[in-house]
Homo-oligomer: A and B are copies of this chain.
Amino acid sequence: MKKQPHLTAQTKQNLIEAFWALYCEQRIEKITVKDITTKAGYNRGTFYEYFTDVYAVLEEIENALIPELDELPPVSLPTGNLGMPIDAFLALYAQNEKYYSVLLGDKGDPAFASKLKNAIKPSLMRVLSEKPGMNLTELDYIIEYTLSSMIGIMSYWFKQPEPLPGDELFKLIHRLMEQGVMKQLSV
């Protein structure tokens, strides 16, 4: 007899969605298996047919949100110059806004930011290291610096009650990356 992929996939999805609804409101340590199954309408034991524990649900969600290599933002600018593909980052973030803003927020998972950075970093490294005379160690720090600021400002953006229009944010980030922050601040 075959499995019933429809049914089980649905059950799993129901559990995931119940988990996510709870995770949006509270820290993961406060979420019990009972909370999840009650919300999803199952027996507590059923949960263990699909996940080993509460953290496994989070991990599954996170892994689905780590961009695959082929979905990664293109790293070459239209001009042919190298640089950071800001618009691609914005698009990636906006596409998964609902999840990213929670996972990267104050009640989220501190490891997720690292996962995200580590998924994006290699392809950036590969392309940007082509610049003649580029110091690889330094490049590594520059990328880390940039991804941190991108993730930071995007999370902040989504957290605002009245966010800046998207194109203004884009222009601002562009200016900061092209000219540096100091130029925007000093007299």
Contacts and interface: CB of A to CB of B under 8 A. Distances in A.
A97 interface: no
B148 A84 contact: no
Query: Which interface residue of A110, A131, A153 has the most chain B CB atoms within 10 A?
Result: A110
A137 B164 CA distance: 8
Given A148-B153, A152-B149, A142 B185 contact: yes
A74 to B, nearest CB: 15
A114 B145 CA distance: 17
A36 to B, nearest CB: 16
Contact of A182 (B83, B108, B138, B148): B83
B186 A81 contact: yes
16 contacts: A28-B29, A82-B187, A83-B185, A106-B111, A107-B110, A107-B111, A110-B110, A128-B185, A137-B164, A138-B172, A145-B149, A145-B173, A145-B181, A147-B152, A148-B151, A180-B180
